[in-house]
Amino acid sequence: MGMTMTQKILARHAGLNVCEEGGLIEASLDLLLGNDITTPPAIDVFEANGWEKVFDQDRIVLVPDHFAPNKDIKSAQQCKRVREFAKKQNITHYYEQGQEAMGVEHVILPDNGLVRPGDCIIGADSHTCTYGALGAFSTGVGSTDLACAMASGQTWFRVPGAIRVELKGEIRPYVSGKDVILHLIGRIGVDGALYRSLEFCGSGIRCLSMADRLTICNMAIECGAKNGIFPVDETTVEYLKARIPGYDEDTSWLTPDEDASYEQTITIDLSTLSPMVAFPHLPSNVHELGSFDTIRIDQVVIGSCTNGRLEDMQKAAAVLKGRKVADGIRAIILPGSQRVYKQCLEQGLLSIFVDAGCVVSAPTCGPCLGGHMGVLAEGERCVSTTNRNFVGRMGHKNSEVYLAGVEVAAASAVLGYIGGPDEIGR
């Protein structure tokens, strides 16, 4: 029986020639990630067991990005705990607020050249599945898993089956990776890929930028998937060469076997997709733009590990240039990293945002999970480029989050209701 991309990566990291769906394996890990929410409990476990040294200080990445810059005293204590642990363990990839390489974890790991095709990665954050965009196996775990892996360099996995997602056709203007993944989640539901891999393939991949692919894999978890993964192509290699000096790896072994087993194939014709909006309170509650009545809003958030990359900022600026945020609307833009922030500065995007009447925040996960920098009051509605719209996700339990791509979010800020760039005129 042939293997999927995911199964090939898992087999290689478990020292096996073959692994089959349902099998339980122990895999060695290339990279481990923790943030300021999930690392402190991992440190508790690590230290309570008297483990003295992490297995490899170069393979652990610690990013205090959720409630940082510290939103209150308790958050400050959590960040301090991570900082002190990183210092004690001499962690190479600890990032401090303000450093150029710092930002939202899933924006910076690929951008800092820490992710390679074929890698096996875990992170104590559910959106760790983002890195599948680069052909890595990457998945979210909890703090105890992180603690044990920091000690041993390994973790256990149940080898997943897979759903093949075949992309064909060419994506249209104002449609992006966000709309592809919202469409898919809408089709299969929030548990449609539970315990399984989403393996993307097909000629349509060519028209998807790396930012699009990162957004798509980022939200694989929102349909329950263990991971999402793209094949390596020219776009991938170009992305890696720009970030990893001398990158030149043969990744042909990653190609799925012809007789690999897929539970089903879902075909998406990209040319037929419109901008999508996920209504409260599930990411699967997806509606095409134009198919619903006027929905007035109070706030717009553009950023996050889903849509906080330079390309996202450029798209937002293209819509907002020379326009004003509608009266009574708060628009908050969070470049995903200090590097993205600087690029926005150099490319004149920050002035466009400020002139339009937007708040521009330091990189943080803050508003996405109702932490800080844009918490919603009772009854308020927000269009957000983030990844979850559960009850109470961004604030009060009677607030509402509508998930959308960057251009819809930016246009909605100008309109004061949910709409697309077509509605604000050229």
Partner 1 sequence: MTIEGRVIKYGANVDTDVIIPARYLNTSVKEELAAHCMEDLDPDFVKKVQAGDIIVAGPNFGCGSSREHAPVAIKASGIACVIAPSFARIFYRNSINTGLAILECAEAYEKIKDGDKIEVDFETGIIKDLDSGEEFKGSAFPEFISEIINADGLVGYTKKKLQQSR
Q: How far is the CB of 61 from partner 1 (least distance, A)?
A: 15
- Residue 71 as a binder of partner 1 (CB under 8 A): the answer is yes
- Residue 142 as a binder of partner 1 (CB under 8 A): the answer is yes
- Residue 182 as a binder of partner 1 (CB under 8 A): the answer is no
Nearer to partner 1, 193 or 411 (CB): 193
Reading the block at residue 175, the tokens are 């449609």
Report the DSSP beta bridge partners of residue 382.
299, 401
Q: Which stretch binds partner 1 (CB under 8 A): 38-46, 164-172, 209-217, 309-317?
A: 38-46
Question: Is 136:272 a contact under the CB 8 Å cutoff?
Answer: no
Q: How far is the CB of 122 from partner 1 (least distance, A)?
A: 10
Contact residue for partner 1 among 103, 110, 140, 335 (CB under 8 A): 140
Contact residue for partner 1 among 16, 20, 28, 44 (CB under 8 A): 44
- Residue 18 as a binder of partner 1 (CB under 8 A): the answer is no
**How far is 218 from 133, CA to CA, in rounded Å?**
8
**How far is 137 from 202, CA to CA, in rounded Å?**
19
Closest CA to 31 of 143, 103, 160, 139: 139
Nearer to partner 1, 34 or 204 (CB): 34
Q: Report the site for partner 1 in 224-283 (rule: CB under 8 A).
A: 224, 226, 282
**How far is 121 from 146, CA to CA, in rounded Å?**
11
- Residue 397 as a binder of partner 1 (CB under 8 A): the answer is yes
Q: Which amino acid appears at position 105 of this protein?
A: E
Q: Under 8 Å CB-to-CB from 62, ≥6 apart: which residues?
A: 33, 34, 35, 39, 82, 85, 86, 91, 93, 94, 95
Nearer to partner 1, 22 or 98 (CB): 22
**How far is 229 from 224, CA to CA, in rounded Å?**
14
- Residue 148 as a binder of partner 1 (CB under 8 A): the answer is yes
Q: Report the site for partner 1 in 346-375 (rule: CB under 8 A).
A: 369-371, 375
Closest CA to 132 of 144, 122, 117, 142: 117
Cα torsion through 161, 119, 135, 365, rounded to 10: 100
333 CB burial (10 A radius; 0-12, 13-18, 19+): buried
Question: Is 117:134 a contact under the CB 8 Å cutoff?
Answer: yes
Tell me the number of residues near partner 1 by CB under 8 A: 51
- Residue 191 as a binder of partner 1 (CB under 8 A): the answer is yes
- Residue 56 as a binder of partner 1 (CB under 8 A): the answer is no
Nearer to partner 1, 52 or 355 (CB): 52
Reading the block at residue 26, the tokens are 């122990």
Chain position carrying tokens 């937002």: 316
Stretch 204-223: interaction string toward partner 1, x if CB under 8 A: -----------------x--
Contact residue for partner 1 among 190, 207, 318, 326 (CB under 8 A): 190
Contact residue for partner 1 among 128, 218, 235, 337 (CB under 8 A): 128
Q: Which amino acid appears at position 172 of this protein?
A: R
- Residue 53 as a binder of partner 1 (CB under 8 A): the answer is no
User: Beta strand 31-35 with 120-123: parallel, antiparallel or unpaired?
Assistant: parallel
**How far is 79 from 67, CA to CA, in rounded Å?**
8
Contact residue for partner 1 among 9, 19, 29, 37 (CB under 8 A): 37
Residues that bind partner 1 (CB under 8 A): 24, 37-38, 40-41, 44-45, 49, 51, 66-67, 71-72, 74-75, 78, 123-126, 128, 140-145, 147-148, 151-152, 156, 158, 190-191, 194-195, 221, 224, 226, 282, 369-371, 375, 388, 390-393, 397
